[in-house]
């Protein structure tokens, strides 16, 4: 269980990005956070990822307070941020160096199959389309079997057709280990397609105005 209690964030320049956010996300739940630009969605993810410190409140995973990045919490951004000096397989296997070589290669191959790129292990990031690169970024994030994966507008740079395709790949990858997903998006349709629950944030710092629960059959 990921929990936030009265979480606030004021940046050093005085900008109050979040105030009083209280939220719980269950294991295996897919939560979407929607809301206009500037209402603190990215800040919320960066706090949970440990990339920024909260100014107030408490963030915990299974009751244990988080302080900084946690190995069981991953994040995917709008841009794939693949490492250009590694092949596609190298990128996907980046977090698997603790495994034996055969075990690592088996995981990488399974992930490549999941994202529909079985023959792309030896390719370089620069050879990929935007949609392919983001599929690799999703595979890289999920192959380490995080308990929580944070997704910050992961598909918004892609056109509608490719976006739909990637939503399917995300669900396929997710279904292997069923981590908690927290998806920030301003595409309400995407939220409805992917999420079990949708949280709407308001421009007023961190205010969560509405919680809709959407029950969707999972593949
Ligand atoms: P969203 O993701 O919903 O667009 P953000 O979390 O990016 O919102 O930003 C929330 C508010 O905090 C905005 O007013 C933004 O300008 C401000 N903000 C975000 N990051 C910083 C930062 N590093 N320093 C100062 N202010 C920031
Ligand atoms: P997003 O909301 O998709 O993260 P933004 O354009 O809001 O994109 O922010 C891009 C980057 O700029 C983020 O790292 C954010 O922290 C930073 N940023 C946003 N607003 C401000 C601000 N007012 N002052 C300083 N940095 C900011």
Mind listing the pLDDT tens digit for each residue in 4-42?
Answer: 999 999 999 998 999 889 999 999 999 999 988 888 999
Q: pTM of the entire structure?
A: 0.88
Number of Cβ atoms within 10 Å of the Cβ of 198 = 21
122: tokens are: 């030896």
Q: What is the pLDDT of residue 41?
A: 93
The ligand with the least distance to the CA atom of 184 is 1
Q: What is the pLDDT of residue 104?
A: 97
If we measure between CA atoms, which residue out of 95, 133, 141 comes closest to residue 117?
Answer: 133
Say if the ipTM goes beyond 0.90: no
Residue 158 pLDDT greater than 90, yes or no: yes
208: helix, strand or coil: strand
Largest CA distance in the chain: 51
CA of 25 from ligand 2 middle (Å) equals 25
Per the prediction, the chain carries an average pLDDT of 92
CA of 11 from ligand 1 middle (Å) equals 8
CA-nearest residue for atom 16, ligand 1, is 38
CA of 93 from ligand 1 middle (Å) equals 32
CB 93 within 8 A of CB 141: no
131: confidence class by pLDDT, cuts 50, 70, 90: very high
End-to-end CA distance of the chain: 23
Tell me the backbone φ, ψ of residue 49, rounded to 5 degrees: -75, -10
- With both helix axes pointing from N to C terminus, report the angle between 160-177 and 101-114 in degrees, rounded to the nearest 10: 140
CA distance 156 to 171: 17
Q: What is the pLDDT of residue 207?
A: 66
CB 70 within 8 A of CB 179: no
CA distance 204 to 39: 7
166: tokens are: 């990637």
């Amino acid at each position: 269980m990921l929990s936030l209690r009265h979480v606030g964030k004021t940046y050093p320049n005085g900008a109050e990005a979040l105030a009083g956010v209280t939220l719980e996300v269950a294991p295996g739940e897919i939560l979407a956070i929607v809301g206009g630009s500037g209402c603190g969605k990215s800040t919320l993810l960066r706090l949970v990822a440990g990339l920024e410190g909260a100014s107030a409140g408490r963030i915990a995973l299974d009751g244990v307070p988080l302080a900084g990045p946690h190995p069981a919490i991953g994040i995917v951004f709008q841009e794939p941020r693949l490492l250009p000096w590694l092949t596609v397989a190298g990128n996907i296997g980046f977090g698997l160096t603790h495994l034996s070589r055969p075990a690592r290669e088996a995981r990488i191959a399974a992930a490549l199959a999941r994202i529909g790129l079985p023959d792309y292990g030896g390719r370089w990031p620069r050879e990929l389309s935007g949609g392919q690169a983001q599929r690799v970024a999703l595979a890289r994030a999920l192959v380490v079997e995080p308990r929580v994966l944070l997704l910050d507008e992961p598909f918004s740079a892609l056109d509608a057709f490719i976006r739909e395709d990637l939503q399917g790949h995300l669900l396929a990858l997710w279904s292997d280990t069923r981590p908690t997903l927290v998806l920030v998006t301003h595409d309400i349709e995407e939220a409805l397609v992917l999420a079990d629950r949708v949280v709407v944030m308001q421009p007023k710092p961190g205010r969560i105005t509405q919680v809709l629960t959407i029950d969707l059959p999972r593949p």
